[in-house]
Structure 1
Amino acid sequence: MKRIDQLLAYAAQIDSPTAQLDAELLLAFVLDKPRSYLYTWPEKTVSEQQSAAFMMLFERRQRGEPVAYLLGRQGFWTLDLQVAEHTLIPRADTELLVEAALQLADAQSALQVLDLGTGTGALALALASERAQWTVTGVDRIESAVALAQSNQRQLQLNNVTFLPSSWFSALAGQCYDLIISNPPYIADNDPHLQRGDVRFEPLSALVSGPDGLDDLRLIIAQAPAYLSANGWLLLEHGFDQASAVRELLQQAGFVDVSSRRDLSKHERISLGRLPSLS
């Protein structure tokens, strides 16, 4: 029988820049313990069944499978979310959209908010958790993603958010929102990064958007004004080298106060604009 410290030392061989963290997360998951337990009791022995389960996960991680899919969970903002292989894994950079949305609006305003391409529901749920007075809607064209987002909602017991199937705005005729937010697909279909890292295992439909990666961003920007209230905001995540193109698209669509914000790596990761009042 192996000890905790022996398993962690072995699993640190994972070919990943976060090998030690990966090993800790996988072993803590198998033992159903917090990560702190691993270093409080490093000499504890692990049962043969637990050791076998850990080694199976370790081997899958060695083949490149994302830890979030192996655990079925991923942290985002202050939330612990269920994830599945038919949805994009929520990432820390996307929290920049949440920060920007919270900064734009008066904390006491009762806003109508839309999250396009909600996936796990990460953005919608983060905003709903921070602003109980907001009414948040999340949509996704993939019904299994909608079901997953609804499951996350029930787990978090958030009553001010609703999820429904819609391909972008297709099921939202007549609706009007004060704020629209989206992390759409924005990778070019021939981008070599699609063959590297975690994205190899994520659904292409959540990643790829035409030859320049801007197809979905163009559609959203063109159609959003019909669903935004006067002075409503559109906030979009995009690729690290797409900010200039997205700002231009926003300006061409009539948005004002257009700007971009940088992520943790100092890349311009999100762009936003306001739909002006007609008066």
Structure 2
Amino acid sequence: MSETIVIKRQTNTSKYQYYRYFNLLKKMMADENKKTVDNLFNLQFSLLITNNDINEKQIKILSRLLCREAVDSLLQSTWFLRKKHCSVPLTKENINAVVNLADKYQSNISDINWNALNAKINIADHARLIQAIIKPIFIWWVEHITPHIFTLYEIKKDLEYQINQCENIKLFEEKEPSNIASSFLSLEDIKTKLEADKARIVVIDDLLKKDIKLVIEAWEKEPVFNKKINNTLEYLQNTQPHSELLQPLWDILITIPQHPENCKKLKHWLVEHSLCLINDEFMWHV
């Protein structure tokens, strides 16, 4: 059976959302070789989070000052997740900034953009380098290798939801046929839709497997992403990108240890490619 999948390419997929897309990629690779996948995600991206959350007390304070919706959205923001994944505590200044921003949106909490908060990022700290630079450029790089991978996965999850709904309606109609024909699709229509949706998922799964294979093969050749980072300076000095896509960024990064003022060039490049938060301030302090 032949099935055509029409894909509308998403633009700026990784803008401010790279933690979400990083997690989606892990789910997509769940059935791949475990050792390879573990290396891909753990060599650089293993979390520094411990069982004792460093911001537990600060979150309790914020929970008393803000509504639950505001706290929940803050905890899912890239601004907060970067701190969490580096075990960086929220300062009093951070807490005040969070509360002040929330006060401006009391009538519409859902409009708060936590990613607009200021952040000072010392990339000499390898954990900060990984979370604020390497991780977002990894997702950006994946998108250039496989432009439709995240869109395909989202379509697949949506189809799986629709199939589940149709299966439930089908079971209900088989047990208690509707007396009003116009209320739902006919049983035959439901069966036809189920067959079509299941066929589309088969096609999407095949496309995703091919995309995942491309990502893994490219990762195996790319030292920017396939070596462990324990020290920012050593990593920058001993790493040369395989992909030409990464070279302009690398040309800036390798100058920063000797010329910290080039952090401004780094910020400009990242903003230009939607790979950092607008109020990020990068610095180099050993």
Fold conserved between structures, TM > 0.5: no
Q: Which one scores higher on RCO, CA 8 angstroms, separation ≥ 6?
A: 2
**Where is the helix percentage greater, Structure 1 or Structure 2?**
2
**Where is the strand percentage greater, Structure 1 or Structure 2?**
1
Larger CA Rg, structure 1 vs 2: 2
